[in-house]
Chain A
Amino acid sequence: MSSSAPSVEIPAVPASFPRLGARRLLVLGGLALFLGGTILGDVFAVFVLHPNADRIGQALVAATAAVRQHRAEDAGQSFAAIGGFLENRGTKVDAHSHMIGFGYLAMLLAILFPWIRLREAASRRLAVLLITGGVVLPVGVFGIHYVGLAYSPLESIGWASIVADGGGLLVVIACAGFLAGLWRQWREGETPAEDELLRDRSWAGRALMAGGTLLILAGFLHGAWYAGVDLYAQEQQDRDLLATMADSASLDPGPGLVPERAGAALNAYGTLQADHAVKIAAHAHIIEFGLIALMAGFFQPFVFLGEAWKRRWAVVLLLGSAILPVAVLLEVQFGLVAGGIADFGGALVIAALAGMLSGVLRYTGRLDATAGSLGSGGRA
């Protein structure tokens, strides 16, 4: 990879991508946030998701058995445990999705940067604020399950939540600042200088943009189908199955800790939760990967790799982006096999992004080296 001849020319004066400039901070910070969020999601899917779902199922069986035995307090404790498991799952999903979301935002702002009319110093401060918030919020959310309400001054919000909310506020402030810059540019009606990010017409760039658009459209259609066909039916089933568990355990005659009707409802409930989770995950991931493909398409001029490697990484990214959501959808029918294929798809996306990030880092390194040597030459 590194030996292939780069296809981009490095400008002697990197005006649109200055060292430690706001735009470079947004590109590198955004890619790093996306990569970090994706790795967190993959680790979560492999090591936490399934064991956690098993523990929730066991606690629900214990709650049903407690109802059967008139042990109201034990039923309450089982649900307290379920609450903990759901919090463990929810906070990790939230940390994963917010980190990726902030990565997108940073990269999109880098793309739109020529249209944001702010002083470089102000833009840099806003970029630092955005990246800082983009790290602080997910780290805070991740900590919620472990920190709990320890030493908290509030009744239902712990310190980790407070830290996460502070991170969110930083991102809101940064985005409001960038919005003001965009508004100023619109009001003043000046045309910004042509920008290399928006000029690229390479094969890799076009393939990523067209592929990304199609992935997003597929995600929209899948979401509309899910909302129309499944959402309301699943909400009704959720309520009905829980009622069946409670009623059957409470009223059905016969021996056993879990009556037959309650047992069937428990199994159906597990399948329902799995079906709901995979459909939501497939919908979210196909749109997320579509967006990242679109953005990666923009950044191709800054990926300092040979054309062949740029094409390879583009194809790998699109392949992984299609494999993961489809395999996730098939997890209910094909279990761990589909789960493994989905993880493989996620690994392809991570590998492609890491490859592109290495190209961007090579580009920025070469820019700095060029600028440095020009500077030394000038002084001599």
Chain B
Amino acid sequence: MKRSQQMLAVAGLALAVWAMGYGFYYAVWVEHQTLDHIGGSLAGAFQHAALRETAASHASLEDYARAKYVYTREVDAHSHWIGLAMVLLALAALWNRLPFGERTRGMLAGALILGSYGFPLGVLLQNPAGWGIGQGIAIAGSALLIVAFGGVAAGFARRV
């Protein structure tokens, strides 16, 4: 088992454990309360509108939009982490079939690992750190993933 292959296997399983731990924490301590908040603020917006309280209705809608924005990114980070962990594990098993030298394999493995950890982290950071920083990390992470995975696909295509 080459070093790059070991890196992928350990990083992949560690990411799976991390993602499931995060999902467990989120399901127990955050998700139900967040969903109640989203539903409550949307219902509140329409109830205020029914009472012709336009400003309060708009404030509730803003609250709803913000809560839904945060929830979407929290759930997306969990699902992307676990999905990318699976991809890393599958690639670890396939790694010996990649017709590249260990140096190139190492670079591809590094890019895949960095992208798999970084992209969902960027998505999650859009909540506290704002649109710019989180978005930048997410874009850089996803670009790394696509380029590295394209390289892997090209390698496998050469073998078929």
Contact = CB atoms under 8 A, between A and B. Distances in A.
Interface of A: 63-64, 66-67, 69-73, 75-76, 78-80, 82-83, 86, 97, 101, 104-105, 108-109, 111-112, 115, 156-157, 161, 164-165, 168-169, 171-172, 175-176, 178-179, 182-183, 185-186, 191-192, 197-198, 206-207, 209-210, 212-214, 216-217, 220-221, 223-224, 227, 235, 238-239, 242-243, 245-247, 249-251, 284, 287, 291, 294-295, 298
Contacts of A287: 83, 87
B27 A164 contact: yes
10 contacts: A112-B9, A115-B9, A165-B24, A168-B24, A175-B13, A178-B13, A179-B17, A235-B72, A243-B45, A291-B86
A257 B24 CA distance: 44
Interface in B36-52: 36, 39, 42-43, 45-52
A212 B93 CA distance: 14
B104 interface: no
B50 A71 contact: yes
B51 A235 contact: no
A214 B152 CA distance: 10
Interface in B113-146: 138, 142, 145-146
A171 B157 contact: no
B17 A249 contact: no
A75 B36 contact: no
Contact of A75 (B13, B47, B52, B61): B47
A185 to B, nearest CB: 8
Contacts of A108: 86, 89-90, 93
A288 B19 CA distance: 17
A48 to B, nearest CB: 19
B159 interface: yes
| Closest A-B pairs by Cβ, 5 of them | A79-B43, A246-B49, A72-B50, A239-B65, A250-B49
Contact of B45 (A168, A223, A242): A242
Interface string B13-31: 1101100110110011000
Contacts, number: 180
Nearest to B51: A72
Given A105-B16, A249-B49, 10 more contacts: A79-B46, A80-B43, A101-B86, A161-B32, A175-B20, A179-B14, A182-B9, A217-B149, A227-B138, A246-B49
The interface centre, meaning the residue of A175, A176, A246 with most chain B CB atoms within 10 A of its CB, is A246
Main secondary structure of the interface of A (DSSP, over half): helix
Contacts of A247: 49, 54, 57
A206 B94 CA distance: 11
A156 B57 contact: no
Contacts of A284: 79
A101 B149 contact: no
B17 A220 contact: no
B107 interface: no
A161 B50 CA distance: 34
A156 B28 CA distance: 10
A83 B156 contact: no
Contacts of A161: 27, 32
A86 B97 CA distance: 45
A243 B157 contact: no
Contact of B42 (A64, A66, A104, A242): A242
Interface in B52-79: 52, 54, 57-58, 61-62, 64-65, 68-69, 72, 79
B82 interface: yes
B92 interface: yes
Nearest to A235: B69
B86 A105 contact: yes
A214 B62 CA distance: 41
Contacts of B90: 108, 111, 212, 291, 294-295
A224 B96 CA distance: 28
